[in-house]
Chains A and B, each alone.
Chain A
Amino acid sequence: MDEKERKQAIYPVSTESLQQNGKTVYYIRSVTSTIFGVSAGILGLESYYGFLFYFAGTAFVSLLLFLLLARGQPTEYFTSANDIWIGNALTGLSSFVLTWTLFYGLVDA
């Protein structure tokens, strides 16, 4: 058995918790992505600035997740710390673009 399998055998991981945590994070990211799209449309952002806004907003949400939900200990709630910083970061991109284009067109009288 290699190192990882040994660790799995000694300290098993509960898959149910992992799935529930993944669902929570996925929901937060998709919902906040739509609102980021709304603001990007209202602010009238275009091309690169818009995507920059999305990544800045996702980073802010990652920070909030790290501080408030994981309470500074991401490895206790996810398999690796990366899962809270960049996990599911791009899933909201399509919702972002959808609401961004919608509200850009709406606000532009």
Chain B
Amino acid sequence: MSFVSTAITVFSLVLLFHAGYSAYEFSHYLKHLTVNSNATLPIDIITETIVATGLFALGQVLGADKLRPVSFAKWAKGLEREGKSPFVFLERRPGYMNVTKLREEYASTKK
């Protein structure tokens, strides 16, 4: 969750809470202070709600984990870069060591 996505999410929740409270107040006034309760929600509250939900969805999608590649080849390539290849047991094969060659290498570096 990066900073931008968290900021967008929090802002959208604040906006949503404000819209909700405004709608509650509007309904309260309608019921207790007017005679004919035939009015619909004012357009700015509606806009605020819709914008808030859109922003929330945007913030969540932006802050989600990156999708992993599904083909085995690409996924294993990414892992190998980090050194955690699924076939790491094939990199060292103790049964196939060439001891004399290794001894020569060691002797040459030691000198």
Chain A contacts to B: CB under 8 angstroms: 11-14, 16-18, 20-21, 24, 27-28, 31-32, 35-36, 38-39, 42-44, 57, 60-61, 64-65, 68-70, 76-79, 103, 106-109
Do A12 and B16 contact each other (CB < 8 Å), given the known contacts A42-B49, A61-B61? Answer: no
Across-interface contacts of B73 in A (CB, < 8 A): 11
Do A18 and B70 contact each other (CB < 8 Å), given the known contacts A27-B64, A28-B60, A39-B52? Answer: yes
B57 and A76: CB pair below 8 A?
no
Query: Which B7-24 residues have a C-beta within 8 angstroms of A?
Result: 16, 19-20, 23-24
* Interface residues in B, total, Cβ within 8 A: 37
- The complex places the Cα of A26 from the Cα of B56 at a distance, in Å, of 16
Contact with A along B62-79 (1 / 0, CB 8 A): 101111111111111000
Chain B contacts to A: CB under 8 angstroms: 16, 19-20, 23-25, 27-28, 31-32, 41, 45-46, 49-50, 52-54, 56-58, 60-62, 64-76
B71 and A109: CB pair below 8 A?
no
Majority SS at the chain A contact face? helix
Most A CB atoms within 10 A — which of B20, B57, B64, B68? Answer: B57
Do A68 and B23 contact each other (CB < 8 Å), given the known contacts A11-B71, A21-B70, A35-B56? Answer: no
**Could you jot down 6 A-B contacts, CB within 8 Å?**
A11-B73, A20-B67, A21-B68, A57-B57, A69-B67, A106-B20
Chain A: CB-nearest residue to B65: A24
A14 and B61: CB pair below 8 A?
no
5 A-B pairs with the lowest CB-CB distances in the bound complex, closest first: A17-B68, A109-B28, A12-B72, A77-B67, A14-B75
A109 and B60: CB pair below 8 A?
no
Across-interface contacts of A77 in B (CB, < 8 A): 67-70
- The complex places the Cα of A27 from the Cα of B61 at a distance, in Å, of 10
- The complex places the Cα of A27 from the Cα of B1 at a distance, in Å, of 13
Across-interface contacts of A78 in B (CB, < 8 A): 70
B72 and A13: CB pair below 8 A?
yes
Chain B: CB-nearest residue to A57: B53
B64 and A79: CB pair below 8 A?
no
